[in-house]
């Protein structure tokens, strides 16, 4: 049995290879016996020593649910030698360090971004441009900047020239992952596993910067999907923004105190499931609505038309038509769910 230490220049740690080819034990026991046991190269624990580390330093600006989850996932998957996080409140320093979100947690923007290869903006949309302006002077030339904003046209239009003027490269992105929970304590290393992340380059986006962002999200467990910013905003207005606003409208209307205490007593599992999104951050969703107003209004109009059709079917007292309407929705939902499971 021979152990060989190999250390190619692009690897962080030695790659230990168990050389058993030709060993008498293999000839005596046969391949079926060895097939029952993983070799060293098959070990998930040992594969971490073979992994490339594409980033020397990753900086996360804002350590809430998404920022904290990025930090946990990046560290767990070895995507950067160092992970630095910029937080806003002094009390967040100890919390983020205790949770293991980053190697370095700081209140100083210059310290957070100094030497960073990739910076991820994870603040509410309204604060992203301001934070970018504060940190741009401290970036090294060629730094790639991306974000997790739920709307893209406004951010891409504002941040692309701003970053380019400082020698940095901006590529917009939006991971389609989240929760109604907020803050670092809600962060999870597996939040992005199996999810889609939309990446929104422009015609002038640097190819290497785009590859860096795509590889980063893929490294976190997500599947990057590239599309124009305006297409993204139109689609998420229907499938993300509208559902949240409908959940809020439903919660507000049904739980109106004017309906009496018994109304709330009768709200059960279905109501809880339908209104879960309403528990999200009002500040974050205020910014989302303000930055995607036209597409959200168009989505509300589409939904109003759909409700109008349903109202007409109910008023017409047509059981067959109502069943057909419900069946159409069930088939659409089942097909979507099955395709998502297959992916």
E-only strand ranges, 22-64: 55-61
Instruction: Using DSSP, state whether 224 is helix, strand or coil.
Output: strand
The rounded distance, in Å, linking the Cα atoms of 26 and 86 is 54
Query: What is the reported pLDDT for 283?
Result: 87
DSSP string, 126-137: HHHHHHHHHHGG
Query: What is the reported pLDDT for 333?
Result: 95
What is the phi/psi pair of residue 67, to 5°?
-60, -45
The rounded distance, in Å, linking the Cα atoms of 343 and 341 is 5
Give per-10-residue mean pLDDT for the chain (343 aa): 40 37 40 38 40 80 92 95 91 86 93 96 90 93 96 95 96 89 84 95 95 96 96 97 97 96 95 93 90 97 97 95 96 90 64
Query: What is the reported pLDDT for 53?
Result: 54
Q: Which two tokens stand for residue 293?
A: 């107003």
Query: What is the reported pLDDT for 10?
Result: 39
Q: How far is CA 134 from CA 95, 153, 163, in A?
A: 24, 22, 11
Query: What is the reported pLDDT for 59?
Result: 97
Domains of the chain: 2-47 (no CATH), 55-227 (3.40.50.720), 232-342 (1.10.3660.10)
């Amino acid at each position: 049995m021979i152990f060989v230490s190999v250390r190619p220049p692009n690897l962080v740690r030695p790659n230990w290879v168990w050389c058993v080819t030709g060993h008498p034990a293999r000839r005596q026991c046969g391949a079926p016996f060895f097939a029952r046991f993983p070799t060293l190269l098959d070990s998930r624990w040992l594969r971490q020593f073979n992994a490339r580390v594409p980033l020397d330093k990753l900086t996360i600006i804002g350590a809430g649910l998404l920022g904290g989850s990025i930090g946990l996932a990046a560290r767990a998957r070895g995507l950067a030698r160092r992970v630095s996080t910029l937080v806003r409140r002094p009390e967040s320093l100890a919390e983020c360090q205790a949770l293991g979100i980053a190697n370095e947690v700081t209140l100083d923007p210059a310290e957070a971004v100094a030497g960073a290869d990739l910076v991820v903006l994870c603040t509410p949309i309204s604060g992203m441009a301001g934070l970018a302006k504060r940190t741009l002077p401290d970036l090294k030339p060629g730094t790639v900047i991306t974000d997790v904003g739920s709307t893209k046209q406004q951010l891409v239009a504002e941040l692309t020239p701003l970053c380019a003027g400082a020698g940095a490269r901006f590529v917009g992105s939006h991971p389609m992952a989240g929760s109604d929970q907020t803050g670092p304590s809600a962060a999870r290393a597996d939040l992005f596993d199996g999810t889609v992340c939309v990446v929104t380059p422009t015609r002038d986006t640097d190819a290497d910067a785009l590859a860096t962002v795509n590889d980063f999200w893929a490294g976190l467990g997500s599947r990057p999907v590239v599309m124009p910013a305006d297409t993204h905003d139109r689609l998420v207005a229907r499938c993300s923004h509208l559902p949240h606003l409908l959940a809020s409208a439903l919660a507000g209307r049904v739980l109106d105190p004017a309906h009496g205490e018994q109304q709330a007593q009768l709200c059960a599992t279905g109501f809880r499931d339908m209104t879960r999104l309403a528990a999200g951050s009002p500040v974050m969703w205020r910014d989302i609505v303000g930055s995607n107003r036209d597409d959200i209004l168009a989505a509300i109009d589409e939904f109003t038309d759909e409700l109008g059709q349903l109202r007409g079917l109910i008023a017409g007292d047509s059981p067959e038509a109502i069943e057909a309407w419900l069946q159409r929705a069930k088939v659409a939902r089942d097909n979507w769910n099955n395709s998502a499971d297959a992916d």
